[in-house]
Amino acid sequence: MSDIAIKVENLGKKYMIRHKKQEPYKTFQDALIQGGKKIIDSLNPFAPKSKEEENIEEFWALKEINFEIKQGDKVGIIGRNGAGKSTLLKVLSRITEPTTGKIQINGRIASLLEVGTGFHPELTGRENIYLNGAILGMSRAEIKSKFDEIVAFAEVEKFLDTPVKRYSSGMYVRLAFSVAAHLEPEILVVDEVLAVGDVEFQKKCLGKMGEVSKEGRTILFVSHNMNAVEQLCNKALLMNQGQLVKNSDDVQALIHYYLNENSEGGLHAKWENSGGEYRNPYFCPQKFYIVDDNENLVDNYASNDDDIFITIEGEIEEIHNALCVGYALFDENNNLLYWTYATDQEEKYWPKLEKGSNILKSQLPKHLLNEGVYRIELLISLHYISWIVEPQKNAPAIFVKIQGGLSKSPYWMVKRPGILAPIIPWSLA
């Protein structure tokens, strides 16, 4: 018997995108005249029929994807937004038909792709549990034997006989994940939907997926949480623009490649918004870079005790009181060390932003970072209500290498143990 759970050969998914021709701006008078012409033409059977001009563009969401996944593999699928990760899972789950290629799947698949997928909104939580089990080919007795475990894990006992259309997104996800994980499919497919749940439930889900994997079942896991991928998975696929970039059994190495090396010019200390991304009226970032106290770009390395500054330039069209601009700092193992906003201090000390160009500057803490390479990701939000640039999802990154300056003592000249290397005053009590 083959040990292959999923085999994909030359997989492709094409979409046809229609672009209507942009009409010029019309005055109210123009609209009245055109409306009158349409009425007259509709009454005249010999009038030529107008055609809306449009362009049709081919878009390959997936192209020439090839890989094999063995039974019991725990596979993390990583990549930027728009890389094709979710489309791949939809094709593997038979929700979307592929345009080209072949897929061989050995075993039943349970998919948790987006909030509400696979649930009937008019049915209760209880009814949806039985419905999902039946779809997976399980008998009523098999579902019943797992029923109490599913309900206890999801923590929705009070609402079990309520139609799921009345559930919050968090309740939806808890029940959907619990059903998918407990009904014993051979292959469990989980998208970033776990991000909807609270932190405790995410930990609970990761623990359950770990248990499932020990039972020899196969897991495909899409996430922007690199720590979760590294903790859970024994294999990883890196995708970019619909193509499979790398396929590796060394998950940590692939994550490091994705976060640190998979960028033009390698580790860089400056990002410029040359593509016109992140358009918004509240703060559109233009430049994000690291400089020393002489305004020179820090593109080589810096000492632990150097004066270096994180600088963010952006354009503001509309002042918003909830605007938060800052950065998140990660170490080489993708541990989030801290993040900071320009509005962390008392309100009287906040930078006074104005319409037009603004430059925000913040000093990287001295005598704090150990030797190593650190990734700094931009973050811009409207006080968590709405993300404009979110770390580990769509944020541009710059890098700084810290080397030396770890201590003023002549007895410590090498990298210190631990993540940080602060110089802390001591005295006799």
- pLDDT tens for residues 139-182? 888 888 889 888 888 888 888 889 988 888 778 888 888 887 78
Please tell me if the domain spanning 59-261 has the same topology as the one spanning 270-402: no
Q: Where are the domains of the chain?
A: 59-261, 270-402
Query: Residue 254 is inside which H or E element, if any?
Result: helix 251-256
**pLDDT in the model for residue 186:** 87
Taking only Cα atoms into account, the Rg of the chain, rounded to an integer number of angstroms, comes to: 27
pLDDT tens-digit profile of 104-151?
A: 999 888 777 765 566 788 889 889 888 878 877 778 888 888 898 888
Provide mean pLDDT across the span 31-49.
68
**Strand ranges inside 364-405, DSSP E:** 372-382, 387-389, 397-402
Q: What type of residue sits at position 216?
A: G
Lowest mean pLDDT: which of 16-25, 58-67, 102-111, 122-131?
Answer: 16-25
**211 SS3 class:** helix
**pLDDT in the model for residue 377:** 95
pTM: 0.63
**pLDDT in the model for residue 198:** 66
Residue 236 has pLDDT above 90, yes or no: yes
Query: Residue 49 is inside which H or E element, if any?
Result: none
**281 SS3 class:** coil
Instruction: Give the Cα separation of 85 and 191 in Å (integer).
Output: 9
Q: What is the DSSP letter of 170?
A: H
Identify the architecture of domain 270-402 in CATH.
Distorted Sandwich (2.70)
CA distances, 384 to each of 155, 169, 281, 344, 353 (Å)? 26, 17, 17, 14, 19
Lowest mean pLDDT: which of 46-50, 223-227, 246-250, 314-318?
Answer: 46-50
**pLDDT in the model for residue 271:** 94
Chain centroid to CA 96? 21
By 3-state DSSP, what share of the chain in percent is helix, strand and coil, each rounded to 5?
25, 30, 40
What is the β-pairing status of strands 387-389 and 372-382? antiparallel
Residue predicted with more confidence, 119 or 14? 14
Chain centroid to CA 114? 13
Residue predicted with more confidence, 284 or 209? 284
The tokens describing 202, both together, are 């995410």
pLDDT tens-digit profile of 331-364?
A: 988 889 999 999 999 999 999 999 999 999 999 9
Buried/exposed 105-116: b ≥16 CB within 10 Å, e otherwise: beebbbbbbbbb
User: Looking up tokens 């994909």, which residue turns up?
Assistant: 8
Among 391, 401, 379, which Cα is nearest to 312's?
379
Q: What type of residue sits at position 272?
A: E
Identify the architecture of domain 59-261 in CATH.
3-Layer(aba) Sandwich (3.40)
Q: How many CA atoms lie within 13 A of 68 on its CB side?
A: 5
Q: What is the DSSP letter of 116?
A: T
Provide mean pLDDT across the span 389-415.
82
Among 104, 117, 115, 108, which Cα is nearest to 142's?
108
Number of residues in the chain:
429
The tokens describing 424, both together, are 């802390």
**pLDDT in the model for residue 225:** 76
Instruction: Give the Cα separation of 329 and 341 in Å (integer).
Output: 12
**50 SS3 class:** coil
Provide mean pLDDT across the span 94-111.
88
